[in-house]
Structure 1
Amino acid sequence: MRAAAFGAGLVVLYTALISSADAITKLIAGGYAAPQLFCLSGLFVVTLSALADRHPSQRRGFHSSCPRAMALRCGATVLAAVSFFYAFRYLPFAEVFLFIGLMPILAGLMSGPILGEHVRPAAWAALIAGFIGVMCLFPTGLGAVTIGHGFAMAAALFGTFSMIMARYIGRYEDNSLAQVFYPNLAIFVTMGVALPFVWKPMPVTDLGLVAAYAAFLFGARWLLVVALRLLAAYAVTPLMNLQFVWMVVLGAVIFGEYPASGTYLGVAIVIGSGLFLVWDQFTPDTARGRFSAAPWRQSRFKTDP
């Protein structure tokens, strides 16, 4: 029980750290190009990973037994980071969460063809409900769709694929630090190629924001790995929805953004569909059968003489 409570606390702290990193992304996105943030932050995270590997409890190096899968994860991570960067530039802070909320549902669908896991019909139902939730952002129709929504959808797809590849790699190795190191190394290298063409001088305060972003990101990803060792995935997923609360608070305090009613409705639908998917995945078939049959039995007993 104590380990579970500690794990839950780590997940709550994770949501606060990752939301803070997202807020810094939105702040930086208004004045700099994506390569400037990600090249510098990637360098910070790579350095932190190298320092962490020197700790006596680590010292495992960064060898990966799945180089091709790691390469795919790295590429997806780079594309997801850039897509999120521009999504935060063009969209209100809390709106992006709707697309983040789709990621567990998309993961349920991608796990079939990539991981060979059975895709339940509930995954398709949850995905349909999730897209209905996203459509709540557009009460006037699809004409309200912007390039920011396109970037947010791309970020959700690439981010989910990166997560699925992490799960695939985790089947064959348990070196979690390598899964932090290589994607950020890829971000540093690819963004470094474009950096000379977009570089703008940065004051010390903005450099401090980039360093804080890297520290928040590194800490959040490591905390999540530890939390998943202490808690089952079906317990972690609902707690991660606390990220929306942080994003609403940070959006109001820092950016003066207050979500419209359609955003709250959409988030409720997306979170609800995600929770249903979690319930369906981890509830035994017999329990689901009893649950679905219970109303029928109750009605029959009422009509029997």
Structure 2
Amino acid sequence: MALTEAEIGELPGRFATAAAAVAAAGFGGVQVHAAHGYLLSEFLSPRANRRDDVYGGSAERRARLLLDIIAAVRAATGPGFAVAVKLNSADFQKGGFAFEDSLQVARWLEAAGVDLIEISGGTYEQPRLLGVEGLEPAEEQAVAASTRAREAYFVDFALAMRESVKVPLMVTGGFRTLAAMEQALAEGVDLIGLGRPLCVQTDGPARLLAGADSLPSYEVGLGLLPKPLRFLRGSKLLRTLDTFGTMYWFYAQLDLLGKEGHARPALSSFAASRRIEGLQKQLLAARRG
């Protein structure tokens, strides 16, 4: 069931309330997540957004909710509080949010006064954010690629966006070596984002600054399929399931960090998946109350 216009109209205020609470707690900024197929990403995507009211149709209408949220958050927190947006470079799905759409939304966000745009991409149907392809063929984007292979997924999109906007740009996804990070910065990226390595090695940035040349690639070798059966990853379905098993491993590490104060790198993907499934059951039971 689709949200009503009245329900959508309440959302900017909810985001603003959350941002104000974060500011009152002493944080210096927030990021509004408008990528990866979540709610705001769905509004931006012509594939997902089939509305025929003021929130659907043209790119401007599809971006209205995001821009209303940015305005509400800024009004609730003031000019000294940083407001960032995570934005898909594309969702890589036929009929979906394309790079041309992303460029236009980035221009609107810059005009709205955001302090930073983080470039990502994909959805959980087409998980380019994890460096893999989904079950459907990916809808590739016409972006000039570097002549050399990159370990990070979205650097070329950020460099192409840099030609259209001056707002600081951040790239997250795939960075492991200091050399790749320094190269991206030298080419025009303003900020490097790190995700999966920090789910285990929480002091990763300090290690890089102290002279380490890379961070661990924990995802290599992970998966639900045992080693003798990993040849089955040739099947898109099994490869996708294996990828989500790897995601659960990182979720479990975050849970362990919160509850025990340390990660468990030796944890198997199967044990991690069982742990997360158990947490999901607890959450559902609590909701039923």
Task: Please give the range of the TM-score, normalised by the shorter of the 2 chains.
Answer: under 0.3
Larger of the two Rg values belongs to structure:
1
TM-score by length of 2: 0.27
- Please identify which structure carries the higher helix content: 1
